Amino acid sequence: MRAAVVRSFGGPEQVEIADVAVPEPGPGQVRIKVAAGALNPVDAAVRAGAFGGAGKTLGLGWDVAGTVDAVGVAAAWGVGDPVVALTPSVGVPLGAHAEYVVVAADAVAAAPASVDAVHAGTLPLNGLTAAQALDLLDLAAGDRLLVTGAAGAVGGFAVQLAAHRGIEVTGHARAGDEELVRSLGAARFTADGVEPGSVDGVLDAAVLGAPALAWVRDGGAFVAVRDGALPEAERGVRTENVWVRPDGGRLAELVRLVDEGVLTLRVAETYALQDAAKAHARLAEGGLRGRLVIVP
């Protein structure tokens, strides 16, 4: 089968399409025939060597939408089931940007019924990141949350999820994104920031760091979505990184919210698997309001 991999670190030109063996599911695993999967900034970071692994073949792709193709022992899925899953691809030889991928059965959820596989393939990584970040913030209905990068994939999901919980959301993004951010459920919008200490929590999807921490009230909470981007705690503000993890049960909840119209799945462009390097180059250009999706 074909899979997108990197063997040397660098720019988009380092992405190769390799012929590799079809993986076999072990106990508690399923094999998915991939229909689509988003390209995320973390894939570019793997390609550039941010997570190490020099001298190894590294797979790309975390998001997968497709159908179950084979099951291992004690895997509670059936061949032909349409599914979505998160398969972390740091330091592994095969990721989800491939024709087939093997994942833990408990990382899998039934695919949304209301959207196609291309859109479904944008949900797992960014949806779970947003949901798990909100868990860490531990805000209640009526609390005030500021989301940086509110027009992006993680930020957009966070705005929608928080608003659905009754949290008062301020979206921080570029001025030209105000209409989009408000359409996602933000009660307020800012392109410049807010008064220091005026919100109960910040979800820092844009990796602003210390300037965004200043907006949190004394004793509030601050969650960053990228390792190494956590500012030094001050004023009793609790600071944490979100480390996204596979969770089929939580993913199923997000799928339900997609089918109920609470969550919006945004696709910018699609690329065939053989054009994965071109997709990486487009990602590097920026300016996207939706995910690029790789289609084997």
Q: Which among 200, 195, 191 is positioned nearest to 149, based on CA atoms?
A: 191
Please, what is the Cα angle at 153 between 182 and 134, to 5 degrees? Answer: 80
Domain of 146: which CATH number? 3.40.50.720
187 part of a folded domain? yes
258 part of a folded domain? no
Residue 91 has pLDDT above 90, yes or no: no
Residue 147 has pLDDT above 90, yes or no: yes
- How many beta carbons lie within 10 A of that of residue 205, not counting itself? 31
Q: 25 and 74: one domain?
A: yes
* Mean pLDDT for the stretch of residues 267-281: 98
107 part of a folded domain? yes
26 part of a folded domain? yes
246 part of a folded domain? no
Q: 226 and 271: one domain?
A: no
Task: Give residue 221's identity as a one-letter amino acid code.
Answer: A
Q: How far apart are CA 24 and CA 4, in angstroms?
A: 18
Asked which of 196, 226, 241 is the last residue of a domain, the reply is: 241
* Mean pLDDT for the stretch of residues 3-26: 97
Q: How far apart are CA 164 and CA 196, in angstroms?
A: 26
Per-residue pLDDT reduced to its tens digit, 22-77: 999 999 999 999 999 999 999 999 999 998 998 899 999 999 999 999 999 878 89
Indicate the number of domains in the chain: 2
Q: 103 and 136: one domain?
A: no
Q: What is the structure's pLDDT at 228? A: 64
Q: 237 and 155: one domain?
A: yes
Q: What is the structure's pLDDT at 75? A: 82
Q: Which residue has the higher pLDDT, 51 or 98?
A: 98
Per-residue pLDDT reduced to its tens digit, 161-210: 999 999 999 999 999 999 999 999 999 999 999 999 999 999 999 999 99
Q: 139 and 226: one domain?
A: yes
Q: How far apart are CA 176 and CA 21, in angstroms?
A: 46
Q: 159 and 227: one domain?
A: yes
Q: 151 and 204: one domain?
A: yes
Q: How far apart are CA 37 and CA 273, in angstroms?
A: 10
Q: 149 and 58: one domain?
A: no
Q: Which among 142, 190, 187, 185 is positioned nearest to 161, based on CA atoms?
A: 185
Q: How far apart are CA 87 and CA 203, in angstroms?
A: 23
Q: 185 and 130: one domain?
A: yes
Per-residue pLDDT reduced to its tens digit, 244-265: 999 999 999 999 999 999 999 9
Q: What are phi and psi of 234, to 5 degrees?
A: -155, 160
Q: 61 and 103: one domain?
A: yes
Residue ranges making up the domain that contains 210: 126-241
Q: What is the structure's pLDDT at 287? A: 86
Q: How far apart are CA 38 and CA 18, in angstroms?
A: 19
Q: How far apart are CA 118 and CA 120, in angstroms?
A: 6
57 part of a folded domain? yes
Q: What is the structure's pLDDT at 89? A: 76
259 part of a folded domain? no
208 part of a folded domain? yes
Q: Which band of pLDDT confidence, cut at 50, 70 and 90, is reported for residue 229?
A: low
Q: 144 and 101: one domain?
A: no
Domain of 42: which CATH number? 3.90.180.10
Backbone dihedral region for residue 21 (phi beyond 0: left; psi -120 to 50: alpha; all else: beta): beta
C-alpha distance from residue 112 to each of 65, 73, 109, 119 (Å): 10, 26, 9, 9
State the chain's mean pLDDT as an integer. 96
Q: 77 and 96: one domain?
A: yes
